[in-house]
Structure 1
Amino acid sequence: MTSPMPAPSFVPGAALRSPEGLGRAAAALLGVTVAVDLFAVYADMLEMNVGADLADGATGSAVAGRAGHADTLYGVAGVAQALVLVATAVVYLCWLWRVRVNAEVFDRSAHRMRRGWTIGGWFCPVVNLWFPRRIVVDAWDASAPWGARVRHAPVNAWWTVWVIGLFVGRLAYTRYDNADTPSELRGAAGLMLFSDALDAVAAILAVLVVVHLTRMQRHKALAGPLPSPVVG
Structure 2
Amino acid sequence: MPTQPPLDRWFSSERAMGLAASILIGVVTVSTWATAWSDWYSYQSVKNHADDPDRLAEADLISGSLGIVAALALLAAAVVFIVWLWRVRWNAEMFCRGEHRFTRGWVLGSWICPVVNLWYPKQVVDDIVAASDPRTPPQTLVLRDIPGTRLVWAWWLTWVAGLVTGNVVQRGILVAATEPGQLRTNVVLSTISALFTTAAAVLAVILIERIDELQTKRAWVPWWAAGQAQPGFQPPER
For normalisation by structure 2, the TM-score amounts to 0.78
In structure 1, what residue type is equivalent to 2:209?
V
Distance in 1 between the 2:171 and 2:119 partners? Answer: 24
State the identity as a percent.
35
The residue type paired with residue 134 of structure 2 is: P
Give the 3 Å change call, closer, same or farther, for CA 146–12 of structure 1 in structure 2: farther
| 1:115–1:17 Cα change, 3 Å | same
Q: Give the partner amino acid of 2:26.
A: G
- State the match for 1:80 in structure 2: 69
Contact 2:156 2:200 in 1 (8 A): yes
Using CA pairs under 8 Å that are at least 6 residues apart, name the structure with larger relative contact order, 1 or 2.
1
Q: Does the Cα contact within 8 Å between 1:27 and 1:211 map onto a contact in 2? A: no
Give unmatched runs, 5+ long, in structure 2. Answer: 138-145, 231-238
Q: Which of the numbers 62, 82, 96 marks the counterpart of 1:107?
A: 96
Change (3 A) 1:147 1:91: closer
The whole-number CA distance in structure 2 between the counterparts of 1:91 and 1:113 is 20
CA displacement at 1:60 relative to structure 2: 4.8
- Cα distance change of structure 1 residues 145 and 168 upon mapping to structure 2, 3 Å threshold: same
**CA distance 1:59–1:138, change in 2 (3 Å):** closer
2:117 counterpart residue number: 128
User: Are 2:50 and 1:45 aligned?
Assistant: no
Aligned to 1:216, the other structure's residue is in SS state helix
- Letter of the structure 1 residue corresponding to residue 35 of structure 2: A
Distance 1:12 1:171 in 2: 45
2:166 to 152, 169, 175: 169
Taking the aligned partners of 1:111 and 1:153, their CA distance within structure 2 comes to 19
Partner SS for 1:221: coil
Q: Does structure 2 retain, via aligned residues, the 8 Å contact 1:47–1:186?
A: no
Match of 1:189 among 187, 197, 207: 187
Structure 1 position 66, deviation (Å) = 4.2
Q: Is the 8 A contact 1:176 1:189 kept in 2?
A: no
Q: Which sits farther off after the overlay, 176-185 or 208-217?
A: 176-185
Q: 1:115 to 1:151 in 2, by over 3 A?
A: closer
Aligned partners of 2:31 and 2:66 also within 8 Å: yes
Structure with greater helix share of residues: 1
- Residue among 9, 16, 20 paired with 1:21: 16
Count of aligned positions: 213
| Alignment partner of 1:70 out of 44, 49, 59 | 59
Cα pair distance change 1:212/1:171, threshold 3 Å: same
Kept in 2, the 8 Å contact 1:144–1:150? The answer is no
Compute the TM-score of the two structures, normalised by the length of structure 1: 0.80
Change in Cα spacing, 1:70 to 1:147, as seen in structure 2 (3 Å) is same
**Partner SS state of residue 98, structure 2:** helix
CA contact (8 A) 1:48 1:187 kept: no
2: CA distance between counterparts of 1:173 and 1:189? Answer: 11
Displacement over 3 Å in runs of 4+: 11-14, 58-61, 64-69, 147-151, 221-229
Counterpart of 2:98, as a letter, is S
Partner in structure 1 of residue 234 of structure 2: none
Whole-Å separation in 1 of the counterparts to 2:33 and 2:178: 26
User: In structure 1, what is the Cα distance between the partners aligned to 2:35 and 2:6?
Assistant: 50
- Partner Cα separation in structure 1 for residue 172 and residue 94 of structure 2: 47
Aligned to 2:142: none
1:147–1:180 Cα change, 3 Å: closer
